Amino acid sequence: GENVEQHPSTLSVQEGDSAVIKCTYSDSASNYFPWYKQELGKRPQLIIDIRSNVGEKKDQRIAVTLNKTAKHFSLHITETQPEDSAVYFCAASTGGGADGLTFGKGTHLIIQP
């Protein structure tokens, strides 16, 4: 089955700096790669996603890049703010996300004031 590795497990950055979280996946058939933000005690919230026919996608301060050849994808957050502090999860799916996601273990992002 699919295996998703996520690094780093903890990331501390100064407010205003950029943060990058990286994930690799094992199944070359994976075609859907969402990123979720989870605050303590809350449900995961989709922040951005990318499909295998696209190399990069951006939404305001958040961007995701996908390298299908290397089987890795990354989340980039620019101009970080205190409210960006949370746990971020990457995930991958071979069925466009509808038949289940395989998640990474998460990155605890800490924004230092």
Partner 1 sequence: NAGVTQTPKFQVLKTGQSMTLQCAQDMNHEYMSWYRQDPGMGLRLIHYSVGAGITDQGEVPNGYNVSRSTTEDFPLRLLSAAPSQTSVYFCASTLRARGNTIYFGEGSWLTVV
**Which of 21, 24, 30, 34 touches partner 1 (CB under 8 A)?**
34
Identify which of residues 58 and 105 has a Cβ nearer to partner 1 in the complex.
105
Of 105, 89, 88, 97, residue with least CA distance to 52: 97
Of 50, 59, 58, 5, residue with least CA distance to 27: 5
For residue 25, state whether it binds partner 1 (rule: CB under 8 A).
no
For 21, counting Cβ atoms within 10 Å of its Cβ (0-12 exposed, 13-18 middle, 19+ buried), the class is buried
Q: Are strands 45-51 and 19-25 parallel, antiparallel or unpaired?
A: unpaired
**Which of 44, 66, 85, 111 touches partner 1 (CB under 8 A)?**
44
Stretch that binds partner 1, among 11-19, 59-67, 70-78, 100-108 (CB under 8 A): 100-108
Q: Which residues bind partner 1 (CB under 8 A)?
A: 1, 4, 6, 34, 42-46, 51, 89, 91, 96-106
